[in-house]
Chains A and B, each alone.
Chain A
Amino acid sequence: MSGCMRTLLRCSHGRLLAFLLLLAWPWFGHANPVTTDHVTLRLVAERTQVAPGSQVTLALVFEIAPGWHTYWRNPGDSGEPPRVTWTLPEGVSIGPMQWPRPELIPVGPLANYGYSDQAVHLFDLTLAEDWPVGDPVRLRADADWLVCEEYCVPESATLALTLASGDLPGPLDQTEADVVAATRAALPRATIDQAVLVAAPAGLRLEVPRQSLPLEITGAWFFAGEWGLIDHAAMQPWRLTTEALQLELSPGVRAEQAAPEGVLVVADTAGNLSSFDLQVTRTAALTSGSTAPPISLPLALLFALIGGLILNLMPCVFPVLAMKALSLVNSLTAEGPAGARVRRLDGLAYTAGVLVFFLALAVILLSLRAAGLAVGWGFQLQYAPFVAVMVYVFFVFGLSLAGAFTLGARLMAIGGQQVGYAGAFGTGALAALVAAPCTAPFMGVALGYAVTLSWPLALAIMLTLGFGLALPFLVLSWMPRLARVLPKPGAWMETLKQVLAFPMFGAAAWLLWVLSVQTGPAGIALVLTGLMILAFGLWLRERTQVSGPAPRRLGGLAAGLAVVSALYLAVATDAVETAGSSSAATSGSHLPSEDYSPARLAAARAAGQPVLVNMTAAWCITCLVNERVALSSPALAQRFAASGVLYLKGDWTNRDPAITSYLAEYGRNGVPLYVYYPPNGSPEVLPQILTEEMVSRVLP
């Protein structure tokens, strides 16, 4: 060019024209792409033609020399992010630089966040409505960046790009479509604003709710958005709990001042990476729902005890307790100190039965949770074969109480015929078994608290609950003057015993309905067949009791065979378990509802719509009573419709991790849970025993 300047007249017309244009347009003469010592940089557009009033995506592509890297917005321990300054004609605006997920680049004892091989930054360009169609859109980008291997080199380039303008946006530029698509895929997928940063004694713990993350996670890394929050080079041990992905972070030198935000990158089982923007809330305490602050340990123990006491009145426990009451009255025939001693031991055996069963249940629950399964209290009823077996248990005891046949001596003890410590123990275990799903109002919070605790404390709370269940009978059995209070044993007992068969059948009928929700008609067919076989086998056994030894053995064999067949059919219900398509909602409510999903809730809230969330399960009696009493009237349905309230129902009859984590957000570990979200403002948790008045009070 300088040669041309010196001998201007000798220049060809073309070169002269080019020179003059260079003077006239700052964009001419700037190459695109530009190659520097370590980078080839190009600026491209997803579409080469843009329409007034529309957007087009630009990509600034760094092709980086092998072994070298550029940096993310927080470069880590050293380095600098690239910077771009735009020179734009009036009517063109460009959005902020977008950062795909970085990689961790260890440098000795330090670590950087950056990109190797290729770094692509997207920008959204908007063309004004009044841009004259046909005028070219000339862009200039001045880019400065630092590129490092062992050492660092600052580089810069000026790039020019001209886009055509037209009535319609142009087609996608196929040569760059892959680069743009791959970069979009590497951008944070969504913003998670429910993550919390807990100041733990050993450092920082980041907890990210799992509902926003892929189901299976095989790797995780948190890239802090601001320098000083964490030690960039430190390991980040992670683990999954039922509700959250937890990462242990080492605090940086400005851990308390730095903005708690950044990008979380997780890998799934196939090794695919996905990233999420995190807006993190700091907290110093154990995390629980924002609206349900964790309660103190003594209070939790008290709630657990009260909850256990209330369990005694639950419809699912009542028949078992009634049998126990019979056994107690029966034991009064034994007078004097010997009788009192027997009663005391009996009470202790019953308590032991309850406690051992609660212990077993708690250990299984905690183990499953530790293994990362989303299970909650009452989880055993989410397993169809368990429900089927419980149907058998209630049915057979019902038959036995009604006098259809007598069970063996040991089992009879459970029925209350005679005092037997093994029998008392068995009754306790049975009471605990059927009580567990009846989450009483006081238990929800206590159990939700329990699962956030260490194992010993969680066990203490659950055992207190069991103790509460056993307490009334234990007290009765230890009262020396009991004989004077309770009625004398007599013929009325046989009548009462037979009457008690019917709560048993009721419980069996209820569980059959639960099963129908879980498995549909196929499971019911299996279990009804099982019941028939069971009844036939036990009847045969009963009929052969008074015959000779050979038929008796045959009868026993038939009964054994019947039990095995029935159990086989029970286990078979697992195969027909439907995947939560059921609805405990089919309870004749006038209130139209939608199925709960985190996305539906988020969408409604974003749209400013008030929402009532109801977490329920077919096996939860409290839930069903509430729905019947408080959430079904036509008047309420009208109010919902009038005020535009969205009614979301989450069915926890079968296992559902999304619902388990929702419950955990509110510090709960069981249903029911009712939460009302006003259009603006924080959600309100409604009581677990609900009336229509309580519901309409919170409505707008």
Chain B
Amino acid sequence: MKTSRVSRGLVGLTTLVATLSLGTVWAAPQVGQPAPDFQVVDTAGQTWTLAELTGKKTILEWTNHDCPFVIKHYDSGAMQALQRDATDAGYVWLSVISSAPGQQGHVSPAMADDLTERRDAHPTAVLLDESGAMGRAYDAKTTPHMYLIDESGVLVYMGGIDDKPTTNQADLEGANNFVRAAMADLAAGQPIAVPVTRPYGCSVKY
């Protein structure tokens, strides 16, 4: 009697552990699967959720204005050009800052707006993910780290912004911008040719 209770307990425990560990595996975003949900405020205090974005194509850009890799893309104007092209094409562009308070890249709403204006950036909104909840849900590792979500809320691209993982502006010339390529594939109604790449940059300062 006792042994059977013990073994039933063991089975239960194993199942629990298996469920939990599978749970964490499922939490990691996967291309071709619904993108993880989020609920984050922007610099104007407005709350954004994934559900509200249904019907629109969305680009998520993890950023940290002090990170040399981010600086490379903003100082050259390449990121702003991409933001303009994307928003012109009907994309919602959300720049996400997951730096924790006190960490590099953490900004107040006013500072974030000031950065947007000073750098002539064109995001639809800048999300302030101080808790890192959204960053962890997307498994965002670097700045920049890029994600594309289609109209039905399915994640179609995640990874680096291009294939030249350096801080040198000169490397933008001739680099293959994966986000532009994914946008072109999506516009042509084709599956994304390169849906997952290595994100490069500074680590997200959770």
Q: A-side interface residues toward B, CB under 8 Å?
A: 77-80, 83, 107-110, 112, 144, 146, 148, 150-154, 202, 227-228, 250, 253-254, 257
A151-B196 contact in complex given A77-B142, A80-B166, A112-B203, C-beta closer than 8 Å: no
Question: Chain B residues near A77 (CB, 8 Å)?
Answer: 141-142, 203
Question: Chain A residues near B182 (CB, 8 Å)?
Answer: none
- Chain A: minimal CB distance from B75 (Å): 13
- Chain B: minimal CB distance from A211 (Å): 32
**Cross-chain contact B67 with A151 (CB below 8 angstroms):** yes
A154-B167 contact in complex given A78-B201, A107-B203, C-beta closer than 8 Å: yes
- Chain B: minimal CB distance from A169 (Å): 36
A110-B67 contact in complex given A150-B103, A254-B196, C-beta closer than 8 Å: no
In the bound assembly, the distance between CA atoms of A107 and B103 in angstroms comes to: 13
- Of chain B, the residue at the smallest CB distance from A226 is B198
In the bound assembly, the distance between CA atoms of A490 and B205 in angstroms comes to: 94
Is B39 positioned at the interface, with any CB of A under 8 Å from its CB?
Answer: no
- Chain A: minimal CB distance from B206 (Å): 4
**Cross-chain contact A150 with B205 (CB below 8 angstroms):** yes
Of the residues A144, A146, A150, A253, contact of B104 by C-beta under 8 Å: A150
**Cross-chain contact A151 with B141 (CB below 8 angstroms):** no
- Chain A: minimal CB distance from B146 (Å): 13
**Cross-chain contact A109 with B205 (CB below 8 angstroms):** no
Of the residues A79, A110, A144, A151, contact of B168 by C-beta under 8 Å: A144
**A-B contact count, CB below 8 Å?**
68
A109-B198 contact in complex given A77-B142, A151-B205, C-beta closer than 8 Å: no
**Cross-chain contact A228 with B203 (CB below 8 angstroms):** no
**Cross-chain contact B68 with A154 (CB below 8 angstroms):** yes
Chain B contributes a number of interface residues (CB within 8 A of A) equal to 30
Question: Chain B residues near A253 (CB, 8 Å)?
Answer: 28, 30, 139, 158, 196
Is B85 positioned at the interface, with any CB of A under 8 Å from its CB?
Answer: no
Interface string of B37-70 (1 = CB under 8 A from A): 0000000000000000000000000000011110
**Cross-chain contact B203 with A153 (CB below 8 angstroms):** no
- Of chain B, the residue at the smallest CB distance from A78 is B203
- Of chain B, the residue at the smallest CB distance from A257 is B196
- Of chain B, the residue at the smallest CB distance from A258 is B198
Is B165 positioned at the interface, with any CB of A under 8 Å from its CB?
Answer: yes
- Most chain B CB inside 10 Å of its own CB: which residue of A112, A151, A228: A151
In the bound assembly, the distance between CA atoms of A254 and B158 in angstroms comes to: 11
A110-B166 contact in complex given A77-B141, A78-B142, C-beta closer than 8 Å: no
**Cross-chain contact A80 with B21 (CB below 8 angstroms):** no
Question: Chain A residues near B35 (CB, 8 Å)?
Answer: none
Interface of A is mostly: loop
**Cross-chain pairs A/B with CB under 8 angstroms, 7 sampled:** A80-B167, A108-B205, A144-B168, A150-B103, A150-B205, A151-B67, A154-B167
- Most chain A CB inside 10 Å of its own CB: which residue of B21, B158, B167, B205: B167
In the bound assembly, the distance between CA atoms of A254 and B103 in angstroms comes to: 30
Question: Chain A residues near B205 (CB, 8 Å)?
Answer: 108, 150-151
A144-B206 contact in complex given A78-B200, A227-B198, A253-B196, C-beta closer than 8 Å: no
Q: B-side interface residues toward A, CB under 8 Å?
A: 18, 21, 25, 28, 30, 66-69, 103-104, 136, 139, 141-142, 158, 165-168, 196, 198-206
**Cross-chain contact B141 with A78 (CB below 8 angstroms):** yes
A78-B202 contact in complex given A151-B66, A152-B67, A154-B68, C-beta closer than 8 Å: yes
Question: Chain A residues near B203 (CB, 8 Å)?
Answer: 77-79, 107-108, 110, 112, 148, 152
Question: Chain A residues near B200 (CB, 8 Å)?
Answer: 78, 80
- Chain A: minimal CB distance from B164 (Å): 10
In the bound assembly, the distance between CA atoms of A148 and B201 in angstroms comes to: 11
- Of chain B, the residue at the smallest CB distance from A109 is B206
Question: Chain B residues near A146 (CB, 8 Å)?
Answer: 68, 167
Question: Chain B residues near A144 (CB, 8 Å)?
Answer: 166, 168
- Of chain A, the residue at the smallest CB distance from B104 is A151
In the bound assembly, the distance between CA atoms of A419 and B18 in angstroms comes to: 55
In the bound assembly, the distance between CA atoms of A129 and B153 in angstroms comes to: 64
- Of chain A, the residue at the smallest CB distance from B135 is A109
Question: Chain B residues near A80 (CB, 8 Å)?
Answer: 165-167, 200
- Chain A: minimal CB distance from B11 (Å): 15
5 new A-B contacts, CB < 8 A, other than A150-B104, A228-B196, A253-B196, are A80-B167, A108-B204, A146-B167, A151-B67, A151-B104
- Chain A: minimal CB distance from B7 (Å): 13
Of the residues B18, B25, B202, B206, contact of A152 by C-beta under 8 Å: B202
Of the residues A110, A148, A228, contact of B204 by C-beta under 8 Å: A110
**Cross-chain contact A151 with B202 (CB below 8 angstroms):** yes
Of the residues B18, B68, B139, B204, contact of A153 by C-beta under 8 Å: B68
Question: Chain B residues near A78 (CB, 8 Å)?
Answer: 141-142, 199-204
- Chain A: minimal CB distance from B74 (Å): 15
Question: Chain B residues near A254 (CB, 8 Å)?
Answer: 196, 198
In the bound assembly, the distance between CA atoms of A250 and B18 in angstroms comes to: 14
- Chain B: minimal CB distance from A404 (Å): 50
In the bound assembly, the distance between CA atoms of A253 and B205 in angstroms comes to: 21
In the complex, the 10 A-B pairs of residues with the closest C-beta atoms, listed nearest first: A78-B203, A154-B167, A227-B198, A151-B104, A108-B206, A77-B141, A152-B202, A78-B142, A107-B203, A154-B68
In the bound assembly, the distance between CA atoms of A228 and B30 in angstroms comes to: 13
- Of chain A, the residue at the smallest CB distance from B198 is A227
In the bound assembly, the distance between CA atoms of A83 and B166 in angstroms comes to: 10
In the bound assembly, the distance between CA atoms of A148 and B202 in angstroms comes to: 8
- Of chain B, the residue at the smallest CB distance from A146 is B167
In the bound assembly, the distance between CA atoms of A227 and B141 in angstroms comes to: 12
In the bound assembly, the distance between CA atoms of A202 and B84 in angstroms comes to: 43
Question: Chain B residues near A257 (CB, 8 Å)?
Answer: 196
In the bound assembly, the distance between CA atoms of A153 and B66 in angstroms comes to: 10
A228-B136 contact in complex given A80-B165, A151-B104, A152-B67, C-beta closer than 8 Å: no
Question: Chain A residues near B201 (CB, 8 Å)?
Answer: 78
In the bound assembly, the distance between CA atoms of A144 and B167 in angstroms comes to: 10
Question: Chain B residues near A108 (CB, 8 Å)?
Answer: 203-206
Question: Chain A residues near B206 (CB, 8 Å)?
Answer: 108-110
